[in-house]
Chain A
């Protein structure tokens, strides 16, 4: 297990100082998508706008960015 940090860059920047353990980067990315969707869902519930460029950055313990998950990659819209 490796510690990854999931930092949120939303209407406010929220750094993940503690980090979480995942088996690999793929698992961390899946979790980042799930977390981003949860934040988006709260925006939807409150009727707040969703900026599709907002993102979750996955870093290692040294702060190196390993992956960026944008809100736009986490939702799809249909009409």
Chain B
């Protein structure tokens, strides 16, 4: 995917939630930045590091994580192409959580904050759309907390595979029943708050129930509704459609 296609995906995602006119959409599409490729597992932004850019994913996947003093990490968000993974950094350029590359080939467009701020000041509706994107992010995070805190290992695994499949489908990068997940097992386990061996056991159990088939990076969901039921997955938290409502 190219930077332009990725910006197109980002604008499409913003437009699914917020009302943007042609000029406002173009302003986002014309954002410029530096294309950078990251090696797997490399940190993009370290905990406590001051940043002056936002990261749009062109290809591959990235994750937000928190880290303990002993170096152990908990993944708190996963980002796919078309996601501006640290839009919050425009308001909070120095945070204690951080971003890392997940996939074998992650390419980002690093957009300087001053360029983002320029269009935010010129177009209040763009600021509104960015704000709503951060709210959508918080909505996902809220589900993840419920997932880790209240769902057992099988439910939370089913839930995460439903969420990622649906997000990949909405972005036009695959189908919820067949998609690619370029993530190694220990990272996936980090996102689920369980160990890799435990996760493999759960994935095998889901396979035996005919709900989920993971082969390397290929994910197949033979019966999506049944997987959603097993995970208690309801998609409402992903669909933040407020296009009818424009605040300016």
Measured CB to CB, the residues of A under 8 A from B are: 6, 8, 10, 12, 14, 16, 18, 20, 31-32, 34-36, 38-39, 42, 45-46, 56
CA distance A12 to B201 in the complex (A): 8
Whether the Cβ atoms of B198 and A20 lie closer than 8 Å is: no
In the complex formed, the residue of A with least CB distance to B197 is A35
- 0/1 string, B189-220, CB within 8 A of A gives 1: 00000111110110011001000000010000
CB within 8 Å for A38 and B152 given contacts A18-B184, A20-B185, A20-B186 = no
Of B185, B200, B204, chain A has the most CB atoms within 10 Å of the CB of B200
Given A18-B185, A20-B185: A38 in contact with B198 (beta carbons within 8 A): yes
Sample (25) of A-B pairs whose CB atoms are under 8 Å apart = A6-B197, A8-B197, A8-B200, A12-B201, A12-B204, A12-B205, A14-B200, A16-B185, A16-B197, A18-B185, A20-B196, A32-B197, A34-B195, A35-B196, A35-B198, A36-B197, A38-B194, A38-B195, A38-B197, A38-B198, A39-B201, A42-B152, A42-B153, A42-B198, A46-B152
Closest residue of A by beta carbon distance from B193: A38
A8 touches B152 (CB 8 A): no
Quick check: A39 and B197 within 8 Å, CB to CB?
Answer: yes
